[in-house]
């Protein structure tokens, strides 16, 4: 793939914020990073995206958009639910927002692409990237290609951690990895183990810093759930490494987690590592993915 000296406008559409910047093929950000509150209606979002693109269209070759929700295999449209974005957001015709080629991809997939191309898993062809935030996203690279599945919805981290219907997940089903390994998962473990329904993720992190025994127990419960999930994923994918991204990833003890995972897996040894692009990974990954797609 020859990407020459092309530039992409990377746009990251989240539930609360939209970020945008011009990015080169090395992932270098060449402009200010524009930041907007995500509008509440489809029309306003379209207008916001149009005005961002208009500002940069003259200096870019392609537009890469990172979005919540699964994205079709041809990278043109959203297939499924998109969390806290407005209900008719998936109906936006992203392809018509620019005269340049527009490439759409799921946010966790964009984060995975950034880590694969220039980040913590650079040049590793088989990786699993987990974004641990309020929820959990998954982006998986198999043999140097994004794992998309038959329609593009692959990489959802909703596999079960329990047979007992203990916790209902945001997806409606019970006991998905997401509802244990996310920030929400830590909060629920805190409330279960403390008996205090007001206890927050912040309380746990704060207590861990102060070596509070209960908070350490809660934290380890959360981290063990992450270990258990990664064991399953490592056995399924035999990956070069597992990269943890997102706001909760900074709290993980990578040495301990790597050791615990390797102790149990039946596949070959792997590593669990922090993402290089904790911030801007959606924006940079979308830009790099769009540049790669354009040069195919």
**66 vs 126 by CB, closer to its own copies:** 126
Site for its own copies in 87-116 (CB under 8 A): none
Least distance from C-beta 208 to its own copies, angstroms? 20
Of 59 and 171, nearer to its own copies (C-beta) is 171
Q: Which of residues 8-67 bind its own copies (CB under 8 A)?
A: none
Instruction: Establish if 193 lies at the interface with its own copies (CB under 8 A).
Output: no
DSSP string, 187-215: HHHHHHHH--TT--HHHHHHHHHTT-HHH
161 counts as binding its own copies under rule CB under 8 A: yes
CB of 110 to its own copies, least distance (A): 17
Q: Does 296 bind its own copies (CB under 8 A)?
A: no
Q: How far is CA 229 from CA 8, 161, 253, 264, in A?
A: 35, 8, 15, 12
> Judged by CB under 8 A, does residue 85 bind its own copies?
no
Q: Does 266 bind its own copies (CB under 8 A)?
A: yes
Give the integer Cα–Cα distance in Å for 160 and 225: 11
Q: Which of 42, 160, 217, 276 binds its own copies (CB under 8 A)?
A: 160
Among 12, 46, 107, 225, binds its own copies (CB under 8 A): 225
- What would the DSSP string read from start to end of 52-68? HHHHHGGG-SEEEEEES
Closest CB to its own copies among residues 114, 127: 127
If binding is defined by CB under 8 A, does position 79 make contact with its own copies?
A: yes
Residue span binding its own copies (CB under 8 A) among the ranges 44-52, 56-64, 89-97, 223-231: 223-231
CB of 98 to its own copies, least distance (A): 28
Q: Which of 55, 57, 192, 238 binds its own copies (CB under 8 A)?
A: 238
Contacts 24+ apart (CB under 8 A), 27-36: 27/114, 27/117, 27/118, 27/277, 27/284, 27/287, 27/288, 29/280, 29/283, 29/284, 31/56, 33/280, 33/283
The least distance separating its own copies from the CB of residue 128, rounded to whole angstroms, comes to 10
Residues 114-153 that bind its own copies (CB under 8 A): 124-126, 138, 140, 142-143, 145, 147-153
What whole-number distance in Å separates Cα of residue 100 and Cα of residue 52? Answer: 13
Size of the site for its own copies (CB under 8 A): 53
> In sequence order, what are the residues at sequence separation of 6 or more whose Cβ sits closer than 8 angstroms to the Cβ of residue 45?
13, 18, 38, 39, 85, 86, 89, 92
Exactly one of 158, 208, 216, 262 binds its own copies (CB under 8 A); which one? Answer: 158
Angle at the Cα of 112 (from 111 to 115), degrees rounded to 5?
A: 90
Ordered DSSP codes for 128-193: EEEEESSSEEEEEEETTEE--TTTS-------BS-SS--SB-TTSSBSBTHHHHSHHHHHHHHHHH
Q: Which residues contact its own copies by CB under 8 A?
A: 70, 79-81, 124-126, 138, 140, 142-143, 145, 147-164, 171-173, 180, 224-225, 228-229, 231-233, 235-240, 264-268, 270
């Amino acid at each position: 793939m020859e990407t020459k000296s092309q530039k992409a406008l990377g746009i990251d559409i989240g539930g609360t914020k939209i970020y945008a910047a011009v990015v080169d093929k090395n992932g270098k950000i060449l402009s200010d990073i524009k930041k907007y509150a995500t509008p509440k209606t489809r029309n306003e979002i379209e207008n916001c995206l149009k005005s961002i693109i208009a500002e940069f269209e003259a200096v870019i070759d392609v537009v890469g958009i990172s979005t919540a929700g699964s994205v079709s295999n041809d990278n043109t449209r959203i297939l499924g639910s998109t969390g806290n974005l407005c209900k008719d957001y998936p109906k936006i015709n992203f392809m018509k927002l620019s005269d340049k080629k527009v490439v759409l991809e799921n946010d966790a997939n964009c984060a995975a692409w950034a880590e694969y191309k220039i980040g913590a898993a650079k040049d590793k062809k088989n990786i699993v990237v987990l974004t641990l935030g309020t929820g959990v996203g998954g982006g998986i690279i198999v043999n140097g290609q994004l794992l998309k599945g038959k329609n593009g919805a692959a990489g959802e981290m909703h596999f079960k951690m329990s047979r007992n219907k203990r916790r209902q997940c945001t997806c409606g089903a019970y006991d998905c990895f997401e509802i244990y390994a996310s920030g929400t998962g830590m909060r629920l473990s805190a409330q279960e183990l403390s008996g205090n329904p007001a206890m927050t993720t912040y309380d746990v992190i704060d207590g861990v810093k102060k070596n509070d025994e209960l908070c350490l127990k809660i934290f380890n419960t959360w981290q063990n759930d992450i270990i258990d999930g990664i064991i399953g994923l490592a056995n399924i994918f035999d990956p070069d490494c597992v990269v943890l991204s997102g706001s909760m990833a900074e709290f993980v003890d990578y040495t301990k987690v790597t050791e615990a995972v390797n102790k149990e897996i039946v596949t070959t040894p792997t590593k669990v590592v922090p993402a290089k692009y904790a911030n801007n990974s959606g924006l940079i990954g979308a830009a790099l993915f769009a540049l790669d797609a354009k040069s195919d």
